[in-house]
Each structure stands twice: as structure tokens, then as C-alpha cells.
Chains A and B, each alone.
Chain A
Amino acid sequence: MRQAAGPRPWTFYVFASFFALFVLFLYGPMTVIYILSFQGPTGGLTFPMTGFSFRWFHALVTAERVGDIGGSFQRSIVLAVIVAVLTVVLSVAAGLAFRRRFPGSGVVFYLAIASLIMPGLFVGLGIAVGFQLLGLDIDWYTSALGAQLTWTLPYGLLIMFAVLGRFNRAYEEAATDLGATPWERMREVVLPILLPGIIGVALFGFTLSYDEFPRTVLTVGTRNTLPLEIWAMTTNVTSPALFAVGTVTTIVSFIAIGAALISIAVIQRRRTRGSGNSV
């Protein structure tokens, strides 16, 4: 259990190999998909590769029997951005609220946890039936948006809890001492310091919405998001076009993740660059 520098115990190698296997387990299948999406024009859903081509990516764009990829992709992105923005604004506000004890804080907390744990299918069912009983149409930017928020807001809240827990309130007092109004305090001190956490919330909001399936499937109405199109493709499409979609959507995810992580890293490095000279 000693952490001091020195030769590593044999258990380290056991664990390390286990970890390596796990990473392989996680990334292996996805990598196969990426490779197979470049399947030759005559190839099938599995190996061997009959060639290397962009044919299946081409198929997505020309929408030959693969469904409404372009439209659903667009809707997914827009929805994800809306969800990300709303999640950030609402989670930050709610997180700040929880710094004090207020009547009803327990109710809101457990409501959020319950919303997190509840299988998406039921939430979707309730919203869909509810809308129907009220005579409203379900659509991707109304009922699906609300459904997705029940999934992202609890995550956002939990992240804010973690970030605010480490936040030193002396910064706020110092700001007050120097003459800041509550709004100036928020703008000049609290939010900038919390920025890495807020970026994390935005990342969760975006990716959770972009990939969301169970809540969305019942509440989206006639115009699908991308995960729903993919779901339909699993039953309809028997060509590597399915894999091509997988590759494209994963690239989008990676871009979002990369942007968030890089900006967080940049901010952190600027603020905690090594110690200066002595005295």
C-alpha cells in the first residue's frame, strides 16, 4: 500500500494488465466499427474487408434507403445545444441555491436523484401520455426537450455540488469587502472561478442529450433525433452504412468532449502554473 517511490509490487502488474484488458474491452468493438465503416462497396457487416472505400459515408449523405440522417443529425445537434445551455443556466442557479439550507431543499434533492435513477422509458411514457391527455402534440423541441432535461439536470446539479463544495467562500467575502454588489460578485469572482465546472456541466448536457435514447423515443414525435434513426437502422439497414453513421456520430461526440476538456485544461494550467520564486 505504500505510495513512496520505488520498485512496484507485483500486484501492480496484475492490476495494470487487468486495466489494459478493460480498456481493450471498452475500445475494441468501437474501433472495429470505425474500421468496418470503410468497408469496400461489396462488403458486408463483418470481416473480411473487401476493400477500402467511402461508399457507406456517401450513402448517408445521399439518403439511399438509410433514413433521414441529415435531418435527424441537425435536430440532434440543435437540441443538444439547447439542452446544454438550459442545463448550465439552471444547474448553476440551483447549485448556488443549495449552499444555504432552505425549506424544501430535501424534496428537490431527492426529486433530482429519483429523476436520475428512473428508467427513461417510464418518464417518456408519462410525458407522452400526459401530453396526449392534455391534447398537446409531442415534438422534439417541447416534450423531448423536457424529457431530456430530467436526465441532464440531475447530473448538472451533482457536478455543481461537487464544484461548489470545494469553493472557498472567502473569495466572495473579499469581493464584498472591496465593494462588489452581489451581481458583481457573481460576474467577476464566482462564475469565472467556477468556469471549469460549468464547462463540465455543459459537456454533460450536450453529450447526454445528443446520445439520449429511452426518454426521447416516446416523446420526440414524428421528427426523429439521430439515436432514434440509428435505432430504426438496426432493424432496417443491413449494410455497413450503419457503421458509417456510428463513426460520424462518434466523431461529433469526440469533438465536443475534446473542446470541453481542452478548455478546462487550459484554464487550470493558467491558474495553477507552478510556484514562483521563494520569498
Chain B
Amino acid sequence: MSALILIELNGSEVSANSRAALTAALQLSDSVDALVLTNDSANASSAASMSGINTVKTIVDDSLEHANVEVASKLIADVMSDYKFLVSGSSTYSKNILPRVGALLDVQPISDVCEIKSSNTFVRPLYAGNVMATVETSDDTIVMTVRATAFEHAEDGGSAAVEALSPAMPESNSTFISLQESQSERPELTTAERIVSGGRGLGSKDNFAMIEQLADKLDAAVGASRAAVDAGFISNDYQVGQTGKVVAPKLYLAVGISGAIQHLAGMKDSQVIVVINNDPDAPMSRMADIVWQVDLFDALNELNAYQV
């Protein structure tokens, strides 16, 4: 009844959501292996240092640098003959690949697992997290993504064996052209301890820089509502919510965000929520621990000038 976790790499390092996947997999099985699809065999070492993994299996091929989904899903499906569970952290990487693996294995995958009740019973969100469902699967092989905010992130401390697999590379009908990566020196949104998030109320891309300034002051990541992204204040990968990223930092500071249910779905588990807004009736304010009802530009100026 062994489990395989699909590792997502962040450069050469294991991503935080893969660390959550390992914690989840260890709740399902005593025997957890990891699979790394990469263009560089050196990238297995970060996975091998995580505590709790038996063997890290690697498949190395140039085409795997930018996870070609047709290739990746076939490779993973073939490896799965030795495993009962396939677990990966919820991200655009795993959500792209795992359902296609499910199709190849004739398995109904389970998305965004937040809690493992037993080896076939899981809790997952519906309706942007407004409803939590307990679901029981009857599939023999179980394929799932898990929320990185719902499971501890496994630490280093292991030294797993690394085993290189060399399957024939499947054919592909698509080709990678380019990746326009967001460059940021700030903490990564999904793992940051503090997030300063801005909404439509900021009014312009130039004004949004005040959010970035405050984030730097607090050593925080920058987030945004869908409205702010749609308006072009900041790029899509900063969006928090049902269709963006799900976060649960120690501190979530929301500026000029009214709080559509889709946004609340992405940040409601934050430990401390601070809302800066001039609208006392905004849904966001009801779930705040601290509310500052004020013109948001006055607040940002005061906060950015404040000597900590």
C-alpha cells in the first residue's frame, strides 16, 4: 500500500507544496517514494533530503524542464503500477498533470484534499470553500492533490536513495515556447508568514506600489484581489482566491479589498486578518480581527512613514 508523491520543483529546490504532499502521504502509508521529473539529475537531491522518503525516483529528459503534460502524465501513469496512492501539492503544476494521469489509470482524482480521515475518506472544499465535503472513494488507485495550507511542510533530515528510471519518452503533440517568470525578491505568496494584499480600491498600478512598499517594510509577500489583477495593477500570479492562490499566513493585511466570496475563500484561514477600507459594510470587515476604517491612501502613507 505504498504512496508516491509527485515532486514539484522550484528551481532546484522542492516546493513547499511538495513538502505538504509528503506529510499527507505519510498519513496514508508508511512507505512513501517520490518522483522527480526534471531535465537535470542534480535536482533529485533536494527531494532526497526530506525526512520520510524511502526512494526518490527520477526521470531525466530535456523535455521535462517545462513539464509537458502529455509526456508527464504518461510517465507517471506507468510508474503508478507499483503504488496505491499518488499525492501532489495543489498547484497549477499538479492540477495540470494529475487529472490526466487519472484518465490514463481510469481513476477519479480528488482535488484539494484538506484532511485525511482514512485511507479512502477525505475532506475537500466545494463552492469556493463555503462547503466542505467528506468524500469516500471506491477506486483501487487513489490520485489526489492536497492543499499546502492544510498539511505541515515536511522538514529536511533524510537521505533517501535516488533511483534513475529510464523509460522510453512518450510522444508529444505540444511544444514549450517561453516562460515569462515573475521576478520578485519578496517572500513567496503561498508560504509567506505575512501578506499585504491590495484590491480595486488602489485605483492604479502606480498606487499599487504603495502596497509593495508596505510589504517590504513588513517583510511580507504581496497579494491581490481578482479585481486588482483584472485591472492590470499586478500580474495574475499574485491573485488570492478561489481561482488564484490559497494562503493562510500569520498576518493577512487587506487594503481596499471589499471581499467577494471568491477572495475570502483564498485567505479565510489566515491567523490574523487586518482590513483597511473606508467601507464599514464591506464583507471583508466582518472577518477581520482588526479594522481600520479610513481612506486607504491616508492609511498607506501613514503606515509607510511610520518608524517601527
> Is the pairing of A and B real?
no
Binding site for B on A (CB under 8 A): none
Binding site for A on B (CB under 8 A): none
